[in-house]
Structure formats: structure tokens, C-alpha cells
Amino acid sequence: MKTLSVNHLLGIKYITRDDIELIFETAEHFKEVINRPIKKVPSLRDITIANIFFENSTRTKLSFELAEKRLSADTISFSAAQSSVKKGETLIDTVNNILSMKVDMVVMRHSNPGAAYFLSQNVNARIINAGDGAHEHPTQALLDSFTIREKLGEIGGKKIVIVGDILHSRVALSNIFALQKQGAEVRVCGPKTLIPKHIESLGVKYEPNLRKALEWCDVANMLRIQNERLDVNYFPSTREYTQQYGLDKDLLDSLNKEIIVMHPGPINRGVEITSDVADSKQSVILEQVENGVAVRMAVIYLLASKIQ
């Protein structure tokens, strides 16, 4: 019988290709479950999960909560804005207080890279990283890969380009790890200022020209410009960014093949992709969201099965 090699999901970097495969196999079963008339299974009825979001989130938080509820886990959720964090409580204290209410698993988003790892070393619960600063967002990368796999059959040998703000993107890093572990080739594209300096050391090529990048790839993952993280001006104006790196229907149709367009959300319509691209049949944005619930159910189920 197969089981995950890790006790926490802190990042794609720490898991193996077999783990990814196991998560996908399990997620396929859960995808069937969430398409039933009654979308719920009782597996985790004796497990309690805390969703702790120190950073804003709509999709990820809803997706995790739904995944937990579909597994029949008890859930508690809080956002930093309403919590004692504002009163000066430390992260470990906050989480330990929650754990003393008998919580088995913690899903956490935090603005500091490594926050999930830090927590896993200091508290007694299973940790799932729902995004830690510009570091990793493992479940997003897993659901992206799951969606590509569903569309193209397999990931090995496929070409994926990640476009946009690579520098501040945890989605980009997790995706690079996940896709490479599954044997795909990854390139990044975007303004030089938004590309990390040593990106080549990850085995990722930089392609400055969007058209060339799109002509090379099978899948384009268009990232959002994270205005909240842009502390200085990385490009002259949003308009200029859109002209250079925005994907519109004319560009998409002028390519010599049909590529798949992905976006981790939230979309800034008219900036990184136009509305007609986001809503076109080549876009799998809403499939990504649906798969997100199934993949998160799989991750939670597999980690919960290791709780003694």
C-alpha cells in the first residue's frame, strides 16, 4: 500500500514524484465524489482542521474549507485581521492555543517564507502550507499539474511556460518544482526585472519574448501582477506591461497551434490576459478551481491517514 513520504505538505520541494502520483490518483477518486448528487464522504469525521490565514485569500481558503467539509472534517477558520495576532501574539502561541482545543491539522497561509516549515518544527500537528510569502504554494502547483495531466494525458515531456511576475510568485516556484519532478520542461517569461536573478540554476530558461515563448510551449500559465508585493516600480506602467506580456485573443489565434491557457487567479482582466482569452475554450481556469477541491481533498486525506 502506498503512503506519502512526508507528514506535512510544506512545499513541492520536499515531496517525491511518487507522492505527486499518489496525490493525483487519490484526487481522481475525489473528483468523482464531488460530482455525485451527494458530494460528501465520512472519512475524516473524527479529525479537526484549523484554517489559519494571515494573508488575504478567497479561492484557496474556500477551496480548503470545502475540501475539508466534503471529507466530513470539523473545521475552524480564522483570518489574521480578526485575531489576537493584531494584539501582539506570536505565531507559535497562536497556533498552540488553537491546538490545545484538540486540532489535528493546520492549513496556514502566511506572508513570511518558511512560516509553514517553522510551524512544523514547533507544534504538534500536521501542517499544510497554503502559501508562505514568495516561497511555495504547493496545492496550487498540484492542481495546476493535475489539470494539465487531465488535458494532455501526461506531464512528462510537455513544455510549460510561466509568464509574469516570477520574482514574487510562490505559484511559479512550486510549479517549477512540480513540473520538473514530473519530467516537464519549464521556461519563464516576463520583464527582466520580475525574473529572479539565478533562475537558470533551477534548470529553467528565461525567454524575454512572449510570442516566442508561446510558440514554444504546450501550456501557458499566466500569473497575476501582484501589485501588493511590488515595493518599487518594476516596469514603467501597467499599460506597457500589457502590451509586452499581456495575452489577447489575436496573439492566441495567431499561434501555429492550440495551447492551453492557465491562470491561478485572481485574474486582472485586461492586464495579464484579456477577457476573451480568459473565457475562451482554450482556457482551463475554471477547471483549475474545480480540480483544486479534489486535489486538496486528496492531500488532506493522505496526510490525515498518517495521524496516529
State which residue, 142 or 277, has the beta carbon closest to other proteins.
Answer: 142
State which residue, 73 or 214, has the beta carbon closest to other proteins.
Answer: 73
Surface-to-core class of residue 228, CB atoms within 10 Å of its CB (0-12 exposed, 13-18 middle, 19+ buried) = exposed
Amino acid at 17: R
Which grid cell sits at 122?
Answer: 514547533
Binding-site member from 11, 12, 15, 26 for other proteins (CB under 8 A): 26
Rg of the chain over Cα atoms, rounded to whole angstroms, equals 19
Binding-site member from 17, 40, 212, 269 for other proteins (CB under 8 A): 40
Binding-site member from 247, 252, 278, 302 for other proteins (CB under 8 A): 302
Q: Does 38 bind other proteins (CB under 8 A)?
A: yes
State which residue, 42 or 236, has the beta carbon closest to other proteins.
Answer: 42
Q: Tell me how far the alpha carbon of residue 216 is from its chain's centroid.
A: 24
- Kindly tell me the sign of the dihedral angle through the C-alpha atoms of 13, 114, 83, 48: positive
State which residue, 47 or 171, has the beta carbon closest to other proteins.
Answer: 47
State which residue, 44 or 172, has the beta carbon closest to other proteins.
Answer: 44
Write the DSSP string, 106-157. Answer: EEEEESSTTHHHHHHHHSSSEEEEEEETTTB-HHHHHHHHHHHHHHHS--TT
Distance (Å) of CA 159 to CA 237, 251, 259? 30, 19, 10
- Going by the DSSP 8-state scheme, the letter that residue 271 receives in this structure is T
To the nearest whole angstrom, how small is the minimum distance from the Cβ of residue 38 to other proteins?
4
Q: Does 37 bind other proteins (CB under 8 A)?
A: yes
Binding-site member from 2, 17, 239, 269 for other proteins (CB under 8 A): 2
Q: Does 174 bind other proteins (CB under 8 A)?
A: no
Q: Does 227 bind other proteins (CB under 8 A)?
A: no
**CA angle (42, 2, 59) in 5-degree steps:** 50
Q: Does 153 bind other proteins (CB under 8 A)?
A: no
Q: Does 1 bind other proteins (CB under 8 A)?
A: yes
**Residue ranges that bind other proteins, judged by CB under 8 A:** 1-3, 26, 29, 32-33, 36-44, 46, 71, 301-302, 304-308
